[in-house]
A and B are shown apart, each in its own frame.
Chain A
Amino acid sequence: MLNDNRRSRALLYAGIVAFALFAIVPYYWVIRTSFLTNIAAISPDTGFIPAFGKLTLESYTQIWDRFAFVTFFRNSIIVSVAATIISLFFAIPGAYAFARLDFPGRKALFYTAVFTIMFPWIVLTIPVYEVFYFLDMVNTLVGVIVALSIFVLPQNIWLLQGFFRQGIPENIEEAALIDGHNELTAFLRIVLPLSLPAVAAAALFAFLTAWNNFLWVFVLTTDEEVRTATVAIYYILGSDVLREWNVLMASLVLLVAPPVIFYGLSRRYVGEGLGGTPG
């Protein structure tokens, strides 16, 4: 109905373009500023689209020299990847159990698991810190990994159980049982391969949540060696970088780059995984 005539279509596209610009402009600004010099970044003469000659990699080299960004990045990657893998390891069988099996307490357990998504994490900072202090995991990467795995788990379960409930053909495990599998191999060899789109989507969201996480890294770590990039930016902002927008923007670009790349790589699967059907 919307695409009926050219006029309504033109209006539709105009609206989409307007919203797109609205969304993209901040990102563009960040990238633009990151390629300028200190002075050019705060100078009003530089304009919206700077002259090509003015562009420089100065801010990036500064980051490299002044801050241990390699460490921060490495920590971010380790923590995000590990949290993604660990939480998926528990979420996949858990979601499958919730979706396909019936056991006492299933509903209660499921809603408890999912309720934690909605719970404001900031309320839990003190008790969580106490627990991790007790376990001697404060200020360690392992502690951060464990914390993030736990907090990323509910959203994985929720996403995956929706897929398992609807996206797997009915009776297919039973056909597999008759063909010669037992329940475990039926799950591993038949159901899991069919679930790859959903698992990819869950992995993506888990990775993003873990990568972007500020609160738990901030609460559970103090030393630079175990700091991740998100918290590092916070410290960079508060340090002598103050007002050096080009350096700050450059660090932002670096921070955002891995998730963007990761999303680009898994894009093909995400659509399938979220919708349950290809495309």
Chain B
Amino acid sequence: MARLELDDVTKVFDTSAETIIAVEELNLDIKDGEFIVVVGPSGCGKSTTLRMIAGLETVTDGEIRLGGERINEKSPKDRDIAMVFQSYALYPHKTVRQNMAYGLHLSTDLDDEEIDRRVQQAAEMMGIEDLLEKKPSSLSGGQQQRVATGRAIVREPSVFLFDEPLSNLDAKLRKHMRTELARIHSEVGITTVYVTHDQEEAMTMADRIVILDQGTLQQIGAPKQVYHEPVNRFVANFIGSPSMNFVDVELVRNADGSGRLVGDDFDYEVSSRLLQPLDETVSDVEFGIRPENVRIDPDAPTEKSLETTVDVVEIVGSDNFIYLELAGKEFRVRAPSEVEPAEGEPVRITFDEDDIHLFDSASGEALVHGYPSTSVTTTAERSDTTAD
């Protein structure tokens, strides 16, 4: 059973210069066979967390359990893990075959035949059979990455740990390797903890995403959930590219329960359905909407639209990213490629109430998501959405 649990795990770096709390009371329960992606901006503690699981960093407080057993005091070689580093960390003076077999020779009692068989099998899975006798220096980045992954697969560990393995590859190769790793995971089925700063990798590869910021857990959830129901402003901003638009608005209520969101150059009517979960006293909120949910529509009704000016149009091919100016601030819209307004042109934009997110101005916590939640996730998936 390779269930990985992190129980109130804390890591404090106490140097002569300063004290840094890298990870603060992190709680994770990773099921056997799950592919977990830990994301966050630089310095959020994701690599530190991974290294604590690996045993390369000590745990200041809290407990890490693998298969129910506490592993805090165990050295890396006794933890039954395998790790793939961002820099691959291949042994330069050994061949690919020796690199892959080294761990098995060193820590297991397997005989040479069995080791060779495993190496061959892993090499075939990674597509590197004809590179087995080469040395790492003669391989390309992508090939080295496959060797590093193959070296981990060969160990048949309880947990795979990946530390931003694709960061050093070019964009195309990165996308290709993403699908490769997903395929391998479905074949091999080993619990995986994957660290990255790329939210796209997280969304495409994860069973569940763990989002960290400055050492604290923001949200754990399935990709769809994290996308449609971000638990706070940070998550809403981090997930999705281009990132969500935020506008400070004031909520003006009508007698019948509906209302208007009012801000600079901003006046949008909302129904009572949307406002119903909100507390009576709430008035200052932060309005959020994703660029892909905004449309340019000159014929939209005024109470459901905003007037903006076009700043920059980015043509990506499949879509256009249109950067608008709304009351002096940037407002992003993703439009189909046919929609290509001129720079400086005034445009009217509109969006559906279903796509609105409202956040508390002070704490950043999500107050309301417009999307009817039953259509997004099942109740079972919702059981572990938020951090507290």
Q: Within 8 Å of chain B (Cβ to Cβ): is A109? A: no
- Within residues 97 to 125 of chain A, which ones have a CB less than 8 A from any CB in chain B? 102, 104
Number of CB contacts from chain A to chain B under 8 A: 55
Q: Within 8 Å of chain A (Cβ to Cβ): is B107? A: yes
Residues in B with CB closer than 8 Å to A102 are 15
Give Cα A179–Cα B16 distance, bound, in whole angstroms.
32
- CB-defined interface of B95-119 with A at 8 Å, one 1/0 digit per residue? 0000000110011000000000000
Whether the Cβ atoms of B93 and A179 lie closer than 8 Å is no
Contact of A177 with B16 at beta-carbon distance under 8 Å, contacts A170-B87, A170-B89, A194-B93 already known: no
Whether the Cβ atoms of B83 and A175 lie closer than 8 Å is yes
Residues in A with CB closer than 8 Å to B107 are 179-180
- Within residues 59 to 108 of chain B, which ones have a CB less than 8 A from any CB in chain A? 75-77, 81-83, 85-87, 89-93, 102-103, 106-107
Residues in B with CB closer than 8 Å to A193 are 93
Q: In the complex, which of the residues A104, A169, A172, A181 contacts B77, with contact meaning CB atoms closer than 8 Å? A: A181
Residues in B with CB closer than 8 Å to A177 are 55-56, 75-77
Whether the Cβ atoms of A178 and B90 lie closer than 8 Å is no
Q: Within 8 Å of chain B (Cβ to Cβ): is A43? A: no
- CB-defined interface of A153-185 with B at 8 Å, one 1/0 digit per residue? 000000000000000011110110111111000
Whether the Cβ atoms of B76 and A178 lie closer than 8 Å is yes
Q: Within 8 Å of chain B (Cβ to Cβ): is A190? A: yes
Q: In the complex, which of the residues B82, B85, B91, B92 contacts A174, with contact meaning CB atoms closer than 8 Å? A: B85
Q: Within 8 Å of chain A (Cβ to Cβ): is B333? A: no
Whether the Cβ atoms of A179 and B102 lie closer than 8 Å is yes
With a 10 A CB-CB cut-off, give which of A174, A179, A180, A190 has the most chain B CB atoms.
A179
Q: In the complex, which of the residues B55, B56, B85, B106 contacts A181, with contact meaning CB atoms closer than 8 Å? A: B106
Q: Within 8 Å of chain A (Cβ to Cβ): is B54? A: yes
Give Cα A182–Cα B102 distance, bound, in whole angstroms.
14
Residues in A with CB closer than 8 Å to B87 are 169-171
B109: shortest Cβ distance to chain A, in Å? 12
A199: shortest Cβ distance to chain B, in Å? 14
Q: In the complex, which of the residues B15, B16, B92 contacts A194, with contact meaning CB atoms closer than 8 Å? A: B92
CB-nearest residue of chain B relative to A179? B103
Whether the Cβ atoms of A182 and B75 lie closer than 8 Å is yes
Give Cα A180–Cα B79 distance, bound, in whole angstroms.
10
Residues in B with CB closer than 8 Å to A174 are 54, 56, 76, 83, 85, 89
Q: In the complex, which of the residues A104, A171, A190, A194 contacts B85, with contact meaning CB atoms closer than 8 Å? A: A171
Whether the Cβ atoms of A178 and B92 lie closer than 8 Å is no
B98: shortest Cβ distance to chain A, in Å? 11
Residues in A with CB closer than 8 Å to B83 are 174-175, 178
CB-nearest residue of chain A relative to B82? A178
Instruction: Say what secondary structure dominates the interface of chain B.
Output: loop
CB-nearest residue of chain B relative to A190? B91
A148: shortest Cβ distance to chain B, in Å? 32
CB-nearest residue of chain B relative to A173? B89
- CB-defined interface of A253-264 with B at 8 Å, one 1/0 digit per residue? 000000000000
Residues in A with CB closer than 8 Å to B15 are 102
Residues in A with CB closer than 8 Å to B103 are 178-180
A112: shortest Cβ distance to chain B, in Å? 18
Residues in B with CB closer than 8 Å to A190 are 91
Residues in B with CB closer than 8 Å to A169 are 87, 89-90, 92
CB-nearest residue of chain A relative to B137? A278
Whether the Cβ atoms of B77 and A180 lie closer than 8 Å is yes
- Within residues 280 to 329 of chain B, which ones have a CB less than 8 A from any CB in chain A? none
B321: shortest Cβ distance to chain A, in Å? 36
With a 10 A CB-CB cut-off, give which of A180, A181, A194 has the most chain B CB atoms.
A180
A4: shortest Cβ distance to chain B, in Å? 32
With a 10 A CB-CB cut-off, give which of A172, A178, A181 has the most chain B CB atoms.
A178
Give Cα A180–Cα B55 distance, bound, in whole angstroms.
12
CB-nearest residue of chain B relative to A177? B76
Q: In the complex, which of the residues B56, B76, B91 contacts A172, with contact meaning CB atoms closer than 8 Å? A: B91
Contact of A178 with B81 at beta-carbon distance under 8 Å, contacts A171-B87, A194-B93 already known: yes
Whether the Cβ atoms of B77 and A171 lie closer than 8 Å is no
Residues in B with CB closer than 8 Å to A194 are 92-93
With a 10 A CB-CB cut-off, give which of A175, A180, A194 has the most chain B CB atoms.
A175
Contact of A172 with B89 at beta-carbon distance under 8 Å, contacts A178-B103, A181-B106 already known: yes
Known: A170-B87, A190-B91, A193-B93. 20 other contacts (CB 8 A): A169-B87, A169-B89, A169-B90, A170-B89, A171-B87, A172-B91, A174-B76, A174-B83, A174-B85, A175-B85, A175-B90, A175-B91, A177-B77, A178-B81, A178-B82, A178-B83, A179-B107, A180-B77, A181-B106, A194-B92
11 pairs from A and B in contact (CB 8 Å cutoff): A169-B90, A170-B85, A172-B89, A174-B54, A175-B85, A175-B89, A175-B91, A177-B75, A178-B81, A178-B82, A193-B93
What are the 4 tightest A-B residue pairs by CB atom distance, in nearest-first order? A180-B107, A180-B106, A179-B103, A171-B89
